[in-house]
Amino acid sequence: MNKNEFKKRRKALMEQVGNGNIAIVASASNHTRNRDVEFPFRQDSDFYYLTGFNEADSLAVFIPGREQGEYILFCREFDEKKALWEGAHAGLEGATEHYKADDSFPIDDMDEILPGMLENKAKVFYPMGRDPDLDHQLLEWITKIRKQSRNGINAPGELVSLEHLLHEMRLFKSTEELKLMRRAAEVSGIAHIRAMQKCQPGLYEYQIEADVVHEFMQQGLRYVAYPSIVAGGKNACVLHYVENKNKLNAGDLLLIDAGAECDHYAADITRTFPISGTFSPAQKQLYQLVLDAQYAAIEQIKPNKPWNNAHDVSVKVLTTGLVELGLLKGSVAKLIEDEDYKQFYMHRIGHWLGMDVHDVGDYKVDGEWRLLEPGMVLTIEPGLYIPENCESVDGKWRGIGIRIEDDVLVTKTGHEVLTYAAPKEIDEIERLMQAN
Ligand code: GLY
Ligand code: MN
Ligand code: MN
């Protein structure tokens, strides 16, 4: 990501924070996996969005109008020994030189320096309630400043949630952000193609997961955006199945929900296809129904449409189809009103997508579903999940789980499907799989 992009974001944030106030955002921390081993580090998205700084133990402070510099980064000092064991880190000089902080201080000195920065500020903007340590520390600093009121020093009077400002910014993707999201989407699509090509009865779910991740990494995207779901047969009915440990059986479907991350931006794709390369008649009927619902929902993605329309349309198409196929009985309107469809379609149509797979941003404004605007990216992922023990339906439907998920950008005139690379038409999938 271009360094100017981070600068633009900081400027936009500071304009909203306003002179006389201060904003604070902390980095993510390292987490121990066991003894000397840590989980892979993933920077906090808000922190990265504003700084591009990819180290733990850091804290960014924004003080609009501060003469000595408005953007201050607290971070680890450069330590040669640490560099030898853990690799390069920016240090105080790197923070100003490469990351364009106006000022930098050792994170170990934060407790002495930060209270001074809070003095006489009216409001403190920070991600409230997210990091209990920071919440606690902030209150301690403020208490400390209060004790100096007789010296004419005022403590901040208001703590304000920074998230609202920042997440509204993150909801609208810039050209630079869309470049990364397109790359994540494209590579993820190619990975789903590889999975379709490699799939064979008798393999294990984790072997197909390996193919997906293989493609991500070969294409230069080291990290998954979320743990991949590779669910054969009835496992697809477990919405967050991530064990990926069972054998793939001929005649079953395979549901894969997997996406790569490109420089902190996620793709989120689900495809469902037949393990042996050909859909059975029952699988075909249900699959086509989900696909029709998905197309109908995607049609709703254009500026000024309420966010919820896509969901409502998917419910209507799926419920109508379930009645036609005999899985539900009764009037479509009544089944929708009574939410009977929820036994087979129990999640919503999708979510915002960006640096976080379930990205930030409000879905309602003043109690009403938000209207879509250009630059928003969201997923459209209808599904049907027929429990194995569902006695109210014919046996041929039981244990089938299908979801089809694409990433969709709202454009000025309508939408763009970012994840077009992954095939989803029945004949396209069958052709691709049978060509192997
Ligand atoms: N992969 C998570 C989701 O589809 O929401
Ligand atoms: Mn999703
Ligand atoms: Mn997904």
* For the CA of 268, the nearest atom of ligand 1: 1
pLDDT tens figures, 143-170: 989 888 788 888 898 999 999 999 999 9
Would residue 152 be called left, alpha or beta, if left means φ above 0 and alpha means ψ between -120 and 50 degrees? left
pLDDT at 131: 87
User: Where along the chain do the CATH 3.40.350.10 domains lie?
Assistant: 3-169
Residue 436 has pLDDT above 80, yes or no: no
Query: Above pLDDT 90, what percent of the chain?
Result: 89
Region 214-230: mean pLDDT is 98
pLDDT at 129: 86
pLDDT tens figures, 307-337: 999 999 999 999 999 999 999 999 999 999 9
- Between the CA of 381 and the centroid of ligand 2 the distance, in Å, is 6
| CATH (one of 3.40.50.970, 3.40.350.10, 3.30.70.260, 3.90.1150.10) for 3-169 | 3.40.350.10
Ligand positioned closest to the Cα atom of 353: 2
Measured between alpha carbons, how far is 290 from 382 in angstroms, rounded to an integer?
Answer: 6
Region 17-40: mean pLDDT is 95
- Between the CA of 228 and the centroid of ligand 3 the distance, in Å, is 8
Residue 360 has pLDDT above 80, yes or no: yes
Model pTM score: 0.95
Residue 274 has pLDDT above 90, yes or no: yes
- Between the CA of 77 and the centroid of ligand 1 the distance, in Å, is 38
Region 7-32: mean pLDDT is 96
Measured between alpha carbons, how far is 78 from 57 in angstroms, rounded to an integer?
Answer: 13
167 as an active site residue: the answer is no
Q: What share of the chain is helix, strand, coil (3-state, %, to 5)?
A: 40, 20, 40
Region 96-125: mean pLDDT is 95
User: Where along the chain do the CATH 3.90.230.10 domains lie?
Assistant: 172-434
List the catalytic residue out of 66, 194, 351, 370.
Answer: 351
Question: Residue 82 — very low, low, confident or very high, per pLDDT cuts 50/70/90?
Answer: confident
164 as an active site residue: the answer is no
347 as an active site residue: the answer is yes
Residue with CA closest to ligand 1 atom 4:
268
Measured between alpha carbons, how far is 71 from 47 in angstroms, rounded to an integer?
Answer: 13
List the catalytic residue out of 385, 406, 407, 430.
Answer: 385
pLDDT tens figures, 236-250: 998 999 999 999 999
* For the CA of 350, the nearest atom of ligand 1: 5
* For the CA of 358, the nearest atom of ligand 1: 5
Asked: is 172-434 a CATH 3.90.230.10 domain? The reply is yes
427 as an active site residue: the answer is no
Region 260-267: mean pLDDT is 98
pLDDT at 206: 98
pLDDT at 387: 95
pLDDT tens figures, 191-207: 999 999 999 999 999 99
311 as an active site residue: the answer is no
pLDDT at 231: 98
Residue 295 burial (CB count, 10 A): 16
Measured between alpha carbons, how far is 60 from 25 in angstroms, rounded to an integer?
Answer: 5
